[in-house]
Chains A and B, each alone.
Chain A
Amino acid sequence: MSTRSRTPFYIAIFLIIATGISLAVWRHIELGIPWLTGEQRPVWMVEARVDFDASGGSVTAALNVPDQPPGFHTLSEQAASPGYGFSILEQSGMRRAEWTKRDVTGPQTLYYKVQLIPDPDVRSLPAKVKPVARTVFWEEPEATAVREILEQAKQRSSNPQSMTRELIRLMQPDTGAQNTTLLIAGENYLDLLVDMLNFSGIPARAADGLKLEDARRRQPLLPFLQIHTGEQWLTFDPRTAEQGVPEDLLLWRQGSASLLDVVGGANSEISFSMLRQTIPAIQLAAMQSEETGLGFLSFYELPIEEQSMFRMLLLLPLGALVVAFMRMLIGIRTSGTFMPVLIAVAFVQTTLIPGLVAFLSVVAIGLLMRSYLSSLNLLLVSRISALIILVIFITAGLSVVGYQMGFNTGMTVTFFPMVIIAWTIERMSILWEEEGAREVLRQGTGSLFVAICAYLLMSAPLAGHLTFNFPELHLVILGLILLMGNYTGYKLSELRRFTPMKVYD
Chain B
Amino acid sequence: MGWISPFTLNRLGMLNMNRRNVDYIARYNDRSAYPLVDNKLKTKLVVAEYGVKTPRLLQVVRQQHEISHFREMSADLAGFAIKPAKGSGGKGITVVTGRDGDEFVKASGARIGVDVLERHLTNILAGLYSLAGASDVAIVENLVQSTPDLARYSFQGVPDIRIIVFQGYPVMAMLRLATKASDGKANLHQGAVGVGLDIGTGKSLNAVQFNRPIALHPDTGLSLGNINIVAWDEMLEMAARCYEATGLGYMGVDLVVDVDEGPLLLELNARPGLAIQMANGCGLLPRLRTIENLKRPHFTPGDRARFAMEEFRKQ
Residues of A within 8 A of B11 (CB): 505
Complex contact B28–A1 (CB within 8 A)? yes
Complex contact B213–A500 (CB within 8 A)? yes
* B contact residues, total (Cβ < 8 Å): 38
8 Å CB contact of B212 from A490, A491, A500, A504: A500
Q: Does B17 contact A (CB under 8 A)?
A: yes
Chain B 111-146, CB within 8 Å of chain A: the 1/0 string? 000000001001100111000010000000000000
Q: Does A405 contact B (CB under 8 A)?
A: no
Complex contact B1–A499 (CB within 8 A)? yes
Residues of B within 8 A of A503 (CB): 213, 281
Residues of A within 8 A of B211 (CB): 497, 500
8 Å CB contact of A489 from B16, B91, B128: B16
A249 vs B8: C-alpha distance in the bound complex, in angstroms? Answer: 70
Q: Does A498 contact B (CB under 8 A)?
A: yes
8 Å CB contact of A499 from B2, B23, B28, B282: B2
Q: Does B101 contact A (CB under 8 A)?
A: no
- The verdict on A501 contacting B5 (CB below 8 Å), with A328-B18, A379-B126, A434-B91 known, is no
8 Å CB contact of B19 from A377, A488, A497: A488
Chain B 1-31, CB within 8 Å of chain A: the 1/0 string? 1111110110110101111001100011000
Q: Does B195 contact A (CB under 8 A)?
A: no
Identify the closest chain B residue to A379 (Cβ): B126
Residues of A within 8 A of B14 (CB): 490, 498, 501
A502 vs B278: C-alpha distance in the bound complex, in angstroms? Answer: 10
8 Å CB contact of B9 from A328, A331, A490: A490
Complex contact B281–A504 (CB within 8 A)? yes
- The verdict on A381 contacting B8 (CB below 8 Å), with A499-B1, A500-B213 known, is no
Q: Does A487 contact B (CB under 8 A)?
A: yes
A502 vs B12: C-alpha distance in the bound complex, in angstroms? Answer: 9
8 Å CB contact of A490 from B16, B127, B277, B278: B16
A135 vs B167: C-alpha distance in the bound complex, in angstroms? Answer: 97
Identify the closest chain B residue to A485 (Cβ): B22
Residues of A within 8 A of B122 (CB): 377, 379
Complex contact B18–A504 (CB within 8 A)? no
Residues of A within 8 A of B128 (CB): 380, 430
8 Å CB contact of A488 from B23, B133, B213: B23
Chain B 27-48, CB within 8 Å of chain A: the 1/0 string? 1100000000000000000000
Complex contact A502–B4 (CB within 8 A)? yes
Q: Does A435 contact B (CB under 8 A)?
A: yes
| Size class of the contact patch on chain A | 20 to 34
List which A454-505 residues lie within 8 A (CB) of chain B. 485-491, 494-505
Complex contact B27–A1 (CB within 8 A)? yes
In this complex, the member of A1, A331, A499 whose beta carbon has the largest number of chain B beta carbons within 10 angstroms is: A499
Q: Nearest Cβ in chain A — how far from B91, in angstroms?
A: 7
Complex contact B281–A486 (CB within 8 A)? no
Q: Nearest Cβ in chain B — how far from A501, in angstroms?
A: 6
Q: Does B208 contact A (CB under 8 A)?
A: yes
A380 vs B124: C-alpha distance in the bound complex, in angstroms? Answer: 10
A218 vs B165: C-alpha distance in the bound complex, in angstroms? Answer: 91
- The verdict on A1 contacting B249 (CB below 8 Å), with A380-B133, A505-B8 known, is yes
List which B252-302 residues lie within 8 A (CB) of chain A. 277-278, 281-283
Q: Which 6 A-B pairs have the closest CB atoms?
A: A488-B19, A380-B126, A379-B126, A504-B281, A499-B4, A490-B16
Q: Report which B residues bind A (CB closer than 8 A).
A: 1-6, 8-9, 11-12, 14, 16-19, 22-23, 27-28, 91, 119, 122-123, 126-128, 133, 190, 208, 211-213, 249, 277-278, 281-283
Taking A490-B6, A495-B9, A500-B212 as known contacts, 13 extra A-B pairs with beta carbons closer than 8 A to each other, sorted by chain A number, are A379-B126, A380-B128, A487-B18, A488-B22, A494-B9, A494-B16, A494-B17, A498-B16, A498-B278, A501-B4, A501-B12, A503-B281, A505-B11
10 A-B pairs with CB atoms under 8 Å apart are: A331-B17, A380-B123, A380-B126, A488-B18, A490-B6, A490-B18, A491-B16, A500-B208, A500-B213, A505-B8
